[in-house]
Amino acid sequence: MSNPHHISSLGPIATNEHHYECIILAGGLGTRLRSELPDLPKCMAPVAGKPFIQHLVDYLLKQGVERFIFSLGYMHESIEIFIKTNYPSLNCHFSIEHEPLGTGGAIKLACQYTTQQNVLILNGDTMFAIDIQKLMDFHLQNNASCTLSLKPMEQFERYGVVETNKECYIQSFKEKQFYHEGFINGGVYALNISSFLQVNFDEKFSFEKDYLEKYYSSYKMMGLVQDSYFIDIGIPEDFKRADKELVNLTF
């Protein structure tokens, strides 16, 4: 019997001439989910019958992603074993943080393993089921340093708001508070590696605070709105919601 998780069983890969590469950030400690997952890294949380990272990888394969760099830290061995066992033919590399470097430091470390000038950056605990070709085409056509995937939301307080002008340039990042409506940062980025590495960062830094929020007016940062399915399993109530919703979700 063939391996049910093998790449060939996932249906048609996106038919385009592009071959995308991604960095998946999955090194966090997952402290807010520790009550639900005392012995697992967050991306390995069982959701709708399989680890969350499996939902993410399957979606990305169908979207035409052909090379994966897993940025890992906490309990990285369990993630490596799962990927190697369930995706034996996957073109991937593991970038290991031996101490927490923040999201920015983790991305910078993982950049040494990239083979393309523009790569996707995703969070290993979030599913934002955007059209990746649409994001990358927009990013490349505009020669942007970084393009954020923005999700329209209503009646929320867990997320800050990202504002853009009519040309889709980032104008501001607003703090978390209650909003009736707005665009949130969905945590999926197209990033120009050489532009990113021009910045003189500390070894440990936040991608969101120390790059996006600090440099959006100095570098060409843009936002593309896509109203696609979004779930962040970082808190227990959304982890439980994902367990119900991802059962029936097809990409």
* pLDDT tens by residue, 43-68: 898 899 999 999 999 999 999 999 99
Under the banding of pLDDT at 50, 70 and 90, the label for residue 142 is: very high
**Res 136 pLDDT > 90:** yes
**Res 23 pLDDT > 70:** yes
Q: What is the C-alpha to C-alpha distance for residues 5 and 215, in angstroms, rounded to an integer?
A: 40
Alpha carbon distance, N-terminus to C-terminus of the chain: 25
- Lowest mean pLDDT: which of 144-158, 162-176, 203-217, 231-245? 231-245
Average pLDDT estimate for 139-143: 97
Residue ranges per domain, the chain? 18-245
Q: Which pLDDT belongs to residue 238?
A: 86
Q: Which pLDDT belongs to residue 68?
A: 98
Under the banding of pLDDT at 50, 70 and 90, the label for residue 147 is: very high
| DSSP codes of every residue in 40-68 | S-GGG-EETTEEHHHHHHHHHHHTTEEEE
Cα torsion 198, 202, 206, 209 to 10°: value is: -70
Q: What is the C-alpha to C-alpha distance for residues 182 and 202, in angstroms, rounded to an integer?
A: 32
Number of CB atoms found within 10 A of residue 77's CB? 11
Q: Which pLDDT belongs to residue 8?
A: 29
Average pLDDT estimate for 7-22: 53
**Res 69 pLDDT > 50:** yes
Instruction: Please state, rounded to an integer, the average pLDDT across all residues of the chain.
Output: 89
Average pLDDT estimate for 76-103: 95
Amino acid identity for residue 129 in this structure: A
Q: Which pLDDT belongs to residue 41?
A: 82
Average pLDDT estimate for 120-141: 96
What CATH number has the domain spanning 18-245? 3.90.550.10
> What is the per-residue pLDDT across 228-248, written as a single tens digit (0 to 9) for each?
999 998 878 888 889 889 887
Higher pLDDT, 248 or 167: 167
- Which residue, 70, 62, 85, 115, is CA-closest to 5? 85
> What is the per-residue pLDDT across 104-119, written as a single tens digit (0 to 9) for each?
999 999 999 999 999 9
**Res 161 pLDDT > 80:** yes
**Res 35 pLDDT > 80:** no
Q: Which pLDDT belongs to residue 13?
A: 37
